[in-house]
Structure 1
Amino acid sequence: MAEDFILDTDDLQRRMDGTMNNLRTEFASLRTGRASASMLEPVQVEAYGQMTPINQVGTVNVPEPRMVTINVWDKGLVNKVEKAIRESGLGINPQMNGTIIMLPIPELNEERRRELTKVAGQYAEHARVSIRNVRRDGMDQIKKAADGMAEDDRKLWEAEVQEMTDKYIKSVDDALEHKQAEIMQV
């Protein structure tokens, strides 16, 4: 049985990829002082009796580096979209112009930049922990099958899982370094 052991590395890789995608989404929601449509992704609006992402009630554009505009399709939702942005904690003050909501992105001060780099670090640490948990699951599968498995085979599987883990941890570290540099850039 153990000689026929095949570790589902595709499953491990898929789970680690999921962690990386989640990290990218979390990083995109961090404001860098530069306008980006993705900064509105976490904001939900109460529309038609349910919570809806902003990009499903209007067109989000970035016409210039410090401005995001939302062209709300339904006139009746303009005030709800504005209220959702005000209450989102993004620290942005929406300005109304008919059905268009303009979001001027203020400069980040040094203190706020440092806070954001710490938050980015926390997101990265959660991603590392998640990747290590996937590694542990893979190692547990190998251990369970270790009875009757050749020592060399076991070591080969463990090395493969460790190599995959190291690759993903490095990706997390690289992404964090890039995001922190982006945040600190004035």
Structure 2
Amino acid sequence: MATPELPENFREPCPDRILDDIGGAFGMGAVGGSAFHFIKGLYNSPGGHRLSGAFQGVRMNAPRVGGSFAVWGSLFSTFDCTLVYARQKEDPWNSIVAGAATGGLLQVRQGLRASSRSALAGGVLLALIEGLGITFNKFMSRQQDMPLVIEDQIPDKSSETMSSSWFGGWFGGKKEEEAKGFKTESPVGMPFGTAEEILL
């Protein structure tokens, strides 16, 4: 039984999408936070204890960074699904507005000015991401729609004759002359062989 082809930008349906995005965001935050805090711990630890300091930095900070990313992913997906349900349409505007709402809500404890700046930053960031995604998809679909052009290559006779004449003068001149010449058989009873042998 063949599985149906899924489009490239396929995402899970909305209730499942939230859990999927939480897990993906936590994974990205944990891996990225591990790399960042490993290097930071390696750099800031005293000599002789750099490796243990790097692992301690990862152990203390990577879960926190992963959790922060998971919170951001859960809020973003919740806002995105809410907008899909409210508008009955799934397009890039949902992601842009969801990014702005997520950024604003996460900074609401810092005050109105910080919240509005964070909302603007989240909206701009998601607009850039969506714009790049649309551009990339259009470019890839244009590449797939282009017909394949297969050109038959005609062998270049001039290069063959040049290479054979250059090499022919040094290495294979006699064989080439023999190939160009012809032999005639002597009539029966001629004691000297072929006509070419007589001339030589």
Q: TM-score, normalized by length of structure 2?
A: 0.25
Q: TM-score, normalized by length of structure 1?
A: 0.26
Identify the structure with the greater strand proportion: 1
Using CA pairs under 8 Å that are at least 6 residues apart, name the structure with larger relative contact order, 1 or 2: 1
Larger Rg: 1 or 2?
2
